[in-house]
Structure 1
Amino acid sequence: MSQQLILKNGGDVWHTNNPANRLGESPIYRSIDSTLHWTDIHATPCTIQILKIEPRTGDVLGPARILEVPFDPITVIRFRRDVPGSYICGYKKGIAFLSEESGEVEVVKELLKEDETGLTMNDGGVDPQGRFWIGSVDLEAIDAQQSGKEYGEPRGKLWRYSPDGSCTIMESGVMIGNGMCWSPDGKYMFYNDSGPQAVWRYDFDSKTGDISNKTIMTLDGLPKGVMNDGMINDESGNLWIAMWMMHSINVCSPEGALLQTIEFPARCITCPTWGGENNDILFVASAQPIVEKAAPGDQGGHMFRYKPEGVKGMPTYEFAG
């Protein structure tokens, strides 16, 4: 007998951004001061938003602090474990450190050269040992896919940046590199390529940071144009995947079976994160549609909160450098 899909209502907007984010992304929670941080990639200039919350309930405590970053679009942020007030982040062409106080950016690794047109950096994450991973997007491959043209292998890549400053290409042939997470036991790494609507699962060597035995889990039944975007997991190993253009977070087993769908009143759900004192509150970023106009009543560009019953999430790891 097949398992019945569970549908849940994620609720209305929890925090209203003023103005609404154009592309809210990469939310992360810091327990030491109970703050939620995220980036609006397409704001002019790009912004980091920092919101104080009550750790038990997740209620908002005061207005968000908006940090302007007049540099490049900041595509992903993670905390640095031993450098308070500093993020490691992705920007259009590489990796940088970013001051939480001033917004000052220090480029640490340029990954895309000037002649590599049609490519941009995108989402990333930190593994349990404190290494930073970041992937790129092949914009020309996306255009070819949407127009039905032949293109060949996408040019996007996935990099691993270690605290000692070494940087290694770990995967190629990526179209739209997006969310990633690691299984609770640290044996597997999961990575979204949104172009083919696939989750890639690898065996993960925690000592070396190497990945092997790539398995492709295609997310069947998704309408054309829907993308599996940001991704986190819970203590049971289930994947919580933001579904761009689908109003939802889809919860899947580590094998790719769809377990439940949590629906929100925003078509473009971008990325979730766990937070709160027990790591059991889901905070969800969203965006306004990029191409078409938003439908009446669409609440994209604001933040959502959802508290699932009996579920705790995995922590957001911090860069060890």
Structure 2
Amino acid sequence: MRIEVLVDVKTILGEGPLWDVEQQRLYWIDSFGCNVFRATVDGREIRAWDVPAKIGSMALRKDGQGAICSLQTGFHALDFKTGESTLIADPDGGNPTLRLNDGKVDRRGRFIAGSMDTMEAGPNGSLYRLDPDFKVTRLDSGIIVSNGPCFSPDDRHLYFADSWSGEIWVYDYDIDTGNVSNRRTFTKVDTSRGGAADGSTVDAEGCLWNAQVYDAKIVRYTPEGKVDRVIDMPVKKVTSVMFGGPNLDILFVTSMAKPPLPRFPGDGVLRGSLFAIYDLGVRGVPEPRFGA
């Protein structure tokens, strides 16, 4: 195993690595810089788009017209050709204390994303589903910081974390309807060093990989929720993970250059870098696109 800096653009709050198998390109975002980035597998041909508000996550569209973005001001459609963002819906009704955060697409083209309390203090956020026809449905509520949604390879389970709960949860997921049920604890996160569950992905073996922000660790959990592997990272504030590359065997890891609140720790010179981890002996699964 080796860890390398792939791109050093010093993202204020890097998040959401997304490998697109069609284009063979890696996308990621800067939540507080209000940017979407794209690069080749070796970190070249960097392209960036601005969005009009803080961004929590994105999904590429099946129609090839751009992306769906979860912004502080709601779900937006980003046109890659024009750079324009168009509001789809604001499920939190313009509440300035909330913003949409992490999200992923299921294998029927629905975008699952949650909102968060901007001060990371109160259980004011919700988990939403954006359907291909742009209908929005609330799936759960009472969440402080929505993070890490991802799906089991058999589509039967949705994993999700409220970062400050100290747990990663699992729901039963109905792939036909997009509904969730039977929320329960998948695993408890070791928060003794101040870390918390952030972005996640699931590999081809059904194991969940979670970035544990402020604790400099990537943790792999078995489908039973047991710790299988721990990777120590060169920065504390790792934020999210995604497998990509031609063989889906490179783990891309985002990080943040500046903590969102003063109580969170600083970091070293590699803060805000996009990392690539090679030779893990594990492959991911292709990430779906949004749309019918």
- Shorter-chain-normalised TM-score: which range? over 0.9
The CA distance in 2 between the partners of 1:316 and 1:219, in whole Å, is: 26
1:5 is matched with none
The CA distance in 1 between the partners of 2:193 and 2:265, in whole Å, is: 18
Identify which of 102, 114, 122 aligns with 2:101: 122
Residues 114 and 125 of structure 2 are in contact (CA less than 8 Å); yes or no, is this contact kept in structure 1? yes
Q: Which amino acid aligns with 1:256?
A: G
1:14-29, aligned counterparts within 5 Å?
A: 14-17=6-9, 20-29=10-19
2:59 is matched with 78
Offset from partner CA, 1:29-75 (integer Å, 9 cap, x none): 122332111111112xx21111123xxxxx23x34122223x11122
Q: Which has the larger radius of gyration?
A: 1
1:218-229, aligned counterparts within 5 Å?
A: 218-223=187-192, 225-229=194-198
The CA distance in 2 between the partners of 1:127 and 1:268, in whole Å, is: 27
Q: Which amino acid aligns with 1:84?
A: G
1:201-240, aligned counterparts within 5 Å?
A: 201-223=170-192, 225-240=194-209
| SS of equivalent residue, structure 2 residue 3 | coil
The CA distance in 1 between the partners of 2:205 and 2:157, in whole Å, is: 13
2:114 is matched with 135
Q: Which amino acid aligns with 1:120?
A: R
| SS of equivalent residue, structure 1 residue 172 | strand
Q: Which amino acid aligns with 2:6?
A: W
Q: Which amino acid aligns with 2:50?
A: E
Residues 10 and 263 of structure 1 are in contact (CA less than 8 Å); yes or no, is this contact kept in structure 2? no
Identify which of 34, 49, 68 aligns with 1:88: 68
The CA distance in 2 between the partners of 1:262 and 1:128, in whole Å, is: 29
Offset from partner CA, 1:258-295 (integer Å, 9 cap, x none): 11111221111011111111111111111124135634
Matched residues, number: 289
- In structure 2, stretches of 5+ residues that fail to align are none
- RMSD (CA atoms): 1.8
| SS of equivalent residue, structure 1 residue 317 | coil
1:299 is matched with 270
TM-score with structure 2 length normalisation? Answer: 0.93
- In structure 1, stretches of 5+ residues that fail to align are 1-8, 54-58, 145-153
The CA distance in 2 between the partners of 1:68 and 1:155, in whole Å, is: 28
| SS of equivalent residue, structure 1 residue 228 | strand
The CA distance in 2 between the partners of 1:117 and 1:49, in whole Å, is: 26
Identity between Structure 1 and Structure 2 (%) = 31
Query: Relative to total residues, which structure has the larger strand share, 1 or 2?
Result: 2
1:4 is matched with none
| SS of equivalent residue, structure 1 residue 143 | coil
In the alignment, is residue 11 of structure 1 matched against residue 18 of structure 2? Answer: no
Residues 10 and 264 of structure 1 are in contact (CA less than 8 Å); yes or no, is this contact kept in structure 2? no
Q: Which amino acid aligns with 2:121?
A: D
The CA distance in 1 between the partners of 2:77 and 2:96, in whole Å, is: 24
Residues 254 and 275 of structure 2 are in contact (CA less than 8 Å); yes or no, is this contact kept in structure 1? yes
1:1-321, aligned counterparts within 5 Å?
A: 11-17=3-9, 20-43=10-33, 46-53=34-41, 59-60=42-43, 62-69=44-51, 71-81=52-62, 83-114=63-94, 116-139=95-118, 142-143=120-121, 154-223=123-192, 225-290=194-259, 291=262, 294-295=266-267, 297-321=268-292
Q: Which amino acid aligns with 2:168?
A: V
Distance 1:143 1:214, change over 3 A: closer
Identify the range of structure 1 (308-317 vs 87-96) with the bigger mean alpha-carbon deviation.
308-317
Offset from partner CA, 1:206-249 (integer Å, 9 cap, x none): 11111111112342432253111110010111100011001121
| SS of equivalent residue, structure 1 residue 195 | helix
The CA distance in 2 between the partners of 1:221 and 1:27, in whole Å, is: 24
The CA distance in 2 between the partners of 1:235 and 1:125, in whole Å, is: 16
Offset from partner CA, 1:177-222 (integer Å, 9 cap, x none): 0111111111111111101121111111111111111112342432
